[in-house]
C-alpha cells in the first residue's frame, strides 16, 4: 500500500533502470565470465550509492555453448553436473520424468558411498554449498553429467580446514531411531533385540518381570500424566511417524508376548521423545543403536526438546552397527540413499522422497519372505528398520513420512491369496505409481496452473531453491513470458545459487540478493513464488528457514505470495511456531563465511560458556501471509488445506 506504487507499477519495463543491488563481496567480483556477464548485477563493492549506477551491459548468456551432450552417469562417484539445456520445452521433459529428482538416474545406486565421501571432503569445501551432487539433482534435466561444473562455480576459497566438520556429512541423527517414533518404536526396537537374542534375555526378563511389574504399573500411570503436557507439543511434531508406528506396533503385538509396561505405554498415544525429559533420554541412550553424545553444553535451551545435531563422527559406529549386524541388515540401495541424506547430497522434499522410493523398490525386488514368516508382517518390520536407519542419517521429511505411511498401508492391505511374486510386483507398482502420480505428474499440473499467474512484465521473487518453483519459472520462460526473477538466498546453505545458475543458463534475467536485502528488493517485486516442505492443516507453510521472512515482507508490501506444493506433502498436524518442531543443523556451519577467509570471529565458539550457535533448517509461515497455494488440484486458498486432506485422502494417502 505505502510504497506499492511507483516502481512496481512500471510493469512493462523489462529492463530495470535502477538495478545495482550490490551485495557482492570483493572476492566474488571476478567470478567466471558465465556469471558476471549474466544479468546478475555485480557492483564495485565500495560504491556509495549502488542504486544510481546504470546497469552493466547485459551480455546474453550463450545458450548452449557450454553444454556437453547429455550423458548418463559415468562411473564417477559424485555425478558432476552441467547446466540444463535452455530453453526447455516443457513437453520434452516428459522423456525424463523420474530422474528430475535423482542425481542422475542410476545415481542412487551408482558410485560407492565411500568414494563419495573422499571426494566430498575435498570438493565440498564450502559450507553446505553447491556440492556438485546437490546441484545435479536439483536440476530438472538430471541425466546430463559433465565436468563443467567448475565454470559456474562462484569463486570459493579453500576452506577445507575450517569447515570440515560439516563437510563430511551434515549430521547423524543418532537418537532418531528411538525418538522419532516414540516409546512405541522403543518397544519395537526392544522386541527386535528380543527376537535376536531371545534365549539370553528371556530368562533374565521373565524373572525380573514379575517383580518389576507392580512397580512399573504405577510408575507408568504416573508417567501417563506428564506426557500429555509434552504430548500436546510433541504429538504435533511428527505425527507422521506415529501412524506407521501404531500400525506395526499392533501387528507385532499379536506376534509376541509383550511386557505389560509396553502395553500400558501403547495404550496412551505415543508421545514424541522430548529431549528435556531426563529419564526418557537416559532410557533412549541405553537402547540407542549408535552411541550418542548429546553435547549438552552447546545446546540452545529453547530447542532442547529437539534432537541435537551430532557431528558425523558417528559414521563409523553407524557402519558397524548396520552393516555388520546381520539381523539389522540394511539393503545396499537404502544404505546408499541414507548416506546421501547424511551428506546432504540429496536435499529437497521431492528429491529425498523419490530417492527413497527408488531404494525401496530395489529392496522389494530383492526381498524374499523368510520361512515361517508372514510376508506382510516381516516386510513391515524390515521397512521399519530401514526407515529408522534413514531417519538416523537425517530426520525424515514430511513428504517421506507420508510416502512411507501410504506404503505401509498398502503392505497391510495385501491379500493373503497373492503369491510372493504377485505381492512384490504389486508393491513395486504402488511405489512407482506414488512417485509418478503424486510427485511427477503433480508437479506438471502445478506448473500448468502457476504459469497462468505470471504475466509479461512481472518481477518474480523466490527464496532458496524449490524444484517446483524452478520448473514453473523455466516453463513460463520457455513459453515466452517476459519477466525477471529475483533470487533471495540465505546462509549457511546458500541454496539459491543452484537456482540462480539454472535460471541463468536458460537465459532468464535474474537478480541475486541476500535475505537481508529482501525488504529493499520487495519494492520492485510483483509476485512471490515459494516452495514448501509441507503445508499443515491450519494453512501454515513449513519450509526452508528464511521463507517466512520473505513471505512476511511480501505481505507487508502487499505482494501476493504463491506457494507451490504437491498435495502429498500436506499434513494434518498444526504448528503455530517454528520452535516446537524443527530440525537442528550443524552449528559449525555458521562459523565460516564463503569468500571471507579472514572471518574468524566465531572460531572456537564451543569453548565459550556464553555463546551458542543455532542453525535451524525449517520455519513456519503463518497462513495470513499466503495468498494462494498452487496444488495439482488447482489453486486454493490456505484455508482449504483441511478440505483437500479430507476430500483427497479418503484413505490416508492415495
Partner 1 sequence: MGMEEEEQVIGDFNRWRQRPELAEAVAAIKALTAVIQRSQASTMMGLEIELKNASEMLKAWDRSSISLSAGCDLFMRYVTRTSALEYEDINAGKSRLIERGERFGDISLKARETIALLGQDFVQDGCCILVHGSSRVVLALLKLAANNGKNFTVIVTEGGPKKTGMEVSKKLSAAGIPVTVIVDSAVAYTMDRVDMVLVGADGVVESGGIINVIGTFQVALIAHSMKRPFYVAAESFKFARLYPLDQQDLSISTGQEESSNPARDYTPPHYLTLLFTDLGVLTPSAVSDELIQLYL
Query: What are the residues binding partner 1 (CB under 8 A)?
Result: 452-453, 455, 527, 560, 627-628, 633-637, 639-640, 643-644, 647
Would you say 146 or 631 has its CB closer to partner 1? Answer: 631
Query: Which residues in 533-573 belong to E strands, given as ranges?
Result: 534-535, 541-544, 561-564
Would you say 300 or 644 has its CB closer to partner 1? Answer: 644
Q: Supply the minimum distance, in Å, between the C-beta of residue 6 and partner 1.
A: 16
Tell me the backbone φ, ψ of residue 554, rounded to 5 degrees. -60, -45
The burial class, CB within 10 Å (0-12 / 13-18 / 19+), for 60 is exposed
Q: Supply the minimum distance, in Å, between the C-beta of residue 639 and partner 1.
A: 4
At 497, list the grid cell: 545459487
Q: Supply the minimum distance, in Å, between the C-beta of residue 18 and partner 1.
A: 23
What's the CA gap between 518 and 531, in Å, rounded?
17
Following CA atoms 589, 173, 315, 435 in sequence, which dihedral angle do they give, to the nearest 10 degrees?
Answer: -100
Would you say 96 or 635 has its CB closer to partner 1? Answer: 635
Q: Supply the minimum distance, in Å, between the C-beta of residue 647 and partner 1.
A: 6
Question: What DSSP designation does 62 have?
Answer: P
Would you say 424 or 449 has its CB closer to partner 1? Answer: 449
Would you say 212 or 633 has its CB closer to partner 1? Answer: 633
Q: Supply the minimum distance, in Å, between the C-beta of residue 635 and partner 1.
A: 4
Would you say 475 or 527 has its CB closer to partner 1? Answer: 527
What's the CA gap between 628 and 8, in Å, rounded?
20
Would you say 404 or 442 has its CB closer to partner 1? Answer: 442
The burial class, CB within 10 Å (0-12 / 13-18 / 19+), for 504 is buried
In the numeric block, the cell 551434515 is attached to 170
- Three-state SS for 635? strand
Would you say 164 or 538 has its CB closer to partner 1? Answer: 538
Q: Where are the alpha helices (DSSP H) in 456-495?
A: 467-478
What's the CA gap between 163 and 331, in Å, rounded?
31
Q: Supply the minimum distance, in Å, between the C-beta of residue 455 and partner 1.
A: 7
Q: Supply the minimum distance, in Å, between the C-beta of residue 402 and partner 1.
A: 19
Would you say 247 or 481 has its CB closer to partner 1? Answer: 481
Instruction: Name, in order, each residue with C-beta under 8 angstroms of 144's C-beta and a sequence gap of 6 or more.
Output: 67, 68, 69, 70, 71, 81, 82, 84, 85
Tell me the backbone φ, ψ of residue 646, rounded to 5 degrees. -75, -45
Compute the radius of gyration of the chain from its Cα atoms. Answer: 25
Cβ pair 191, 254 in contact under 8 A: no
The burial class, CB within 10 Å (0-12 / 13-18 / 19+), for 180 is buried
Q: Supply the minimum distance, in Å, between the C-beta of residue 571 and partner 1.
A: 18
Would you say 322 or 483 has its CB closer to partner 1? Answer: 483
Tell me the β-bridge partners of 513: 488
Would you say 9 or 596 has its CB closer to partner 1? Answer: 9
User: What DSSP line would sit under 211-237, residue for residue?
Assistant: HHHHHHHHHHHHHHSHHHHHHHHHHTT
- Three-state SS for 59? coil
Would you say 167 or 450 has its CB closer to partner 1? Answer: 450
Following CA atoms 55, 126, 470, 6 in sequence, which dihedral angle do they give, to the nearest 10 degrees?
Answer: -30
Q: Supply the minimum distance, in Å, between the C-beta of residue 634 and partner 1.
A: 6
Question: What DSSP designation does 435 have?
Answer: I
What's the CA gap between 344 and 617, in Å, rounded?
12
Amino acid at each position: 500500500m505505502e510504497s506499492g506504487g511507483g516502481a512496481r507499477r512500471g510493469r512493462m519495463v523489462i529492463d530495470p533502470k535502477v538495478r545495482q543491488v550490490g551485495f557482492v563481496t570483493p572476492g566474488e567480483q571476478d567470478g567466471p565470465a558465465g556469471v558476471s556477464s549474466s544479468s546478475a548485477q555485480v557492483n564495485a563493492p565500495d560504491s556509495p550509492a549502488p542504486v544510481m549506477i546504470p546497469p552493466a551491459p547485459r551480455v546474453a548468456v550463450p545458450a548452449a555453448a557450454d553444454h556437453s551432450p547429455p550423458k548418463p552417469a559415468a562411473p564417477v562417484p559424485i555425478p558432476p553436473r552441467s547446466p540444463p539445456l535452455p530453453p526447455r520445452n516443457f513437453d520434452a521433459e516428459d522423456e525424463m520424468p523420474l530422474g528430475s529428482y535423482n542425481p542422475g538416474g542410476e545415481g542412487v545406486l551408482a558410485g560407492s558411498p565411500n568414494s563419495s565421501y573422499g571426494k566430498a571432503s575435498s570438493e565440498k569445501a564450502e559450507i553446505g554449498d553447491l556440492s556438485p551432487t546437490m546441484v545435479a539433482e536439483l536440476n530438472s534435466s538430471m541425466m546430463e553429467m559433465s565436468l563443467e561444473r567448475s565454470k559456474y562455480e562462484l569463486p570459493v576459497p579453500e576452506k577445507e580446514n575450517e569447515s570440515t566438520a560439516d563437510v563430511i556429512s551434515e549430521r547423524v541423527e543418532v537418537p532418531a531411531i528411538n525418538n522419532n517414533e516414540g516409546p512405541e518404536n522403543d518397544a519395537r526396537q526392544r522386541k527386535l533385540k528380543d527376537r535376536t537374542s531371545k534365549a539370553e534375555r528371556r530368562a533374565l526378563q521373565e524373572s525380573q518381570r514379575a517383580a518389576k511389574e507392580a512397580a512399573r504399573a504405577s510408575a507408568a500411570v504416573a508417567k501417563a500424566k506428564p506426557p500429555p503436557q509434552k504430548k500436546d507439543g510433541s504429538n504435533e511434531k511428527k505425527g507422521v511417524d506415529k501412524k506407521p508406528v501404531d500400525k506395526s506396533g499392533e501387528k507385532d503385538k499379536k506376534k509376541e508376548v509383550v511386557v505389560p509396561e509396553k502395553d500400558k505405554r501403547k495404550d496412551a498415544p505415543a508421545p514424541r521423545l522430548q529431549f528435556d525429559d531426563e529419564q526418557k533420554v537416559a532410557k533412549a541412550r541405553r537402547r540407542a543403536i549408535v552411541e550418542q553424545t548429546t553435547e549438552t553444553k552447546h545446546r540452545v535451551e529453547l530447542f532442547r526438546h529437539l534432537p541435537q545435531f551430532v557431528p558425523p563422527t558417528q559414521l563409523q559406529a553407524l557402519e558397524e552397527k548396520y552393516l555388520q549386524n546381520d539381523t539389522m541388515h540394511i539393503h545396499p540401495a537404502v544404505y546408499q540413499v541414507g548416506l546421501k541424506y547424511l551428506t546432504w547430497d540429496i536435499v529437497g522434499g521431492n528429491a529425498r522422497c523419490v530417492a527413497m522410493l527408488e531404494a525401496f523398490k530395489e529392496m522389494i525386488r530383492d526381498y524374499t519372505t523368510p520361512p515361517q514368516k508372514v510376508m506382510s508382517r516381516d516386510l513391515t518390520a524390515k521397512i521399519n528398520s530401514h526407515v529408522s536407519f534413514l531417519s538416523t542419517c537425517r530426520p525424515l521429511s514430511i513428504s517421506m513420512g507420508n510416502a512411507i505411511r501410504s506404503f505401509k498401508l498398502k503392505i497391510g492391505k495385501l491379500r493373503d491369496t497373492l503369491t510372493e511374486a504377485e505381492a512384490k510386483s504389486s508393491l513395486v507398482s504402488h511405489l512407482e505409481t506414488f512417485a509418478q502420480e503424486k510427485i511427477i505428474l503433480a508437479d506438471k499440473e502445478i506448473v500448468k496452473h502457476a504459469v497462468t499467474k505470471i504475466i509479461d512484465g512481472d518481477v518474480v521473487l523466490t527464496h532458496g531453491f524449490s524444484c517446483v518453483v524452478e520448473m514453473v519459472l523455466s516453463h513460463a520462460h520457455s513459453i515466452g513470458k517476459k519477466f525477471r526473477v529475483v533470487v533471495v538466498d540465505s546462509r549457511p546453505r546458500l541454496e539459491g545459487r543452484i537456482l540462480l545458475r539454472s535460471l541463468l543458463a536458460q537465459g532468464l534475467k535474474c537478480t541475486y540478493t541476500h535475505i537481508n536485502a529482501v525488504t529493499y528488493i520487495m519494492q520492485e517485486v510483483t509476485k512471490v513464488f515459494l516452495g514448501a516442505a509441507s503445508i499443515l492443516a491450519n494453512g501454515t507453510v513449513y519450509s526452508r528457514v528464511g521463507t517466512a521472512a520473505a513471505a512476511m515482507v511480501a505481505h507487508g508490501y502487499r505482494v501476493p505470495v504463491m506457494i507451490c506444493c504437491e498435495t502429498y506433502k500436506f499434513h494434518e498436524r498444526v504448528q503455530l511456531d517454528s520452535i516446537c518442531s524443527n530440525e537442528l543443523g550443524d552449528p559449525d556451519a555458521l562459523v565460516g563465511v564463503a569468500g571471507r577467509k579472514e572471518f574468524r570471529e566465531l572460531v572456537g565458539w564451543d569453548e565459550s560458556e556464553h555463546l551458542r550457535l543455532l542453525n535451524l533448517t525449517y520455519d513456519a509461515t503463518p497462513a495470513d501471509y499466503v495468498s494462494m497455494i498452487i496444488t495439482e488440484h488447482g489453486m486454493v486458498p490456505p484455508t482449504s488445506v483441511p478440505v483437500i486432506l479430507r476430500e483427497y485422502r479418503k484413505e490416508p494417502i492415495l
